Structure 1
Amino acid sequence: MARYTCSFILSVPTDQLQASLVELLQDCQLDVQYYTSDYILAREFIGSVPISKLVTVEILIDKTRHNDTETRMSIVIKNEELPLQRDNHCRQIFEYVKQAIENCRYWHLIESIAG
């Protein structure tokens, strides 16, 4: 199973972050299937790639350690594909979503740590 993670610290109020993230994921051609105030689940659309390569994106917003100016969040991007090549489909989607988050106009990126 391919799995990539990244943590971010953003300068954005927590109450504005969720709606902006849902829009960002939809702009990345992902189907947002579930969301709460601190969790978002999105997937690639069925039919776009083989089933084993379908990517799932999970975003966790840390509400325990936020303040008025900074919000922490983590993303986990995974699929059932074995990561036999460094540039696999899951890695490509990870890099695409990570870049979209880092360059989004709705917030200021303070820190990004890929794991």
Structure 2
Amino acid sequence: MAFSYLDIIGWTEFRKGHGVSMARYTCSFLISINFEYLQPLLLDLLQDCDLDIQYCTSDYILAREIPGKVSFSKLVKVEVFIDKSTATETESRMSIVIKNEELPLHVDNHCRQTFEYVKETIERSRHWHLIESLAG
């Protein structure tokens, strides 16, 4: 069964109005690194995870999965929020939100797999020491 563009738009509007959840995973990190060094290292890390940087400021990064490996609805968007207000010379806080338009019908869906991969890559990075990681 093929869906028209209007069917997809209608589903999107229905989903917004009726609280139908798409896949979305979050995690907060406290790491030992100066705030000024964090953003460039995160850009490299996200690109190493096969993500394309779409937008970047000193405290926000938007990256997307490169099309071609999965269907459009499974393409993952990664948002990184760097908390400048609590940053010190030695510690920085950041949060990631990883989401896509896929209905999370299975626990081990594509969005969850990408979330786990990015989360573990952040946790194991040699560029900083992980102090705390809290998945939500």
Alignment TM class, shorter chain as reference: over 0.9
Q: In the alignment, which residue of structure 1 is the partner of 2:40?
A: 19
Uncovered stretches (5+) of structure 1, i.e. residues with no partner: none
Uncovered stretches (5+) of structure 2, i.e. residues with no partner: 1-21
Q: Percent of aligned positions with the same letter in both sequences?
A: 68
Runs of 4+ aligned residues of structure 1 deviating over 6 Å after TM superposition are: none
Task: Give yes or no for the alignment of 1:77 onto 2:98.
Answer: yes
Number of residues of Structure 1 aligned to a counterpart in Structure 2: 115
CA distance in 1, matches of 2:123, 2:94: 12
TM-score, normalised to structure 2, is: 0.84
Counterparts in 2 of 1:77-96, with a 5 A limit? Answer: 77-96=98-117
Q: In the alignment, which residue of structure 1 is the partner of 2:89?
A: 68
What is the Cα-based RMSD across aligned positions, in Å?
0.5
TM-score, normalised to structure 1, is: 0.99
Greater C-alpha Rg: 2
Higher strand share: 1
Write out per-residue CA displacement over residues 21-66 of structure 1, whole angstroms, 9 at most, x where no aligned residue: 0000000000011111000000001112100000000000000111
Q: In the alignment, which residue of structure 2 is the partner of 1:105?
A: 126
Higher helix share: 2
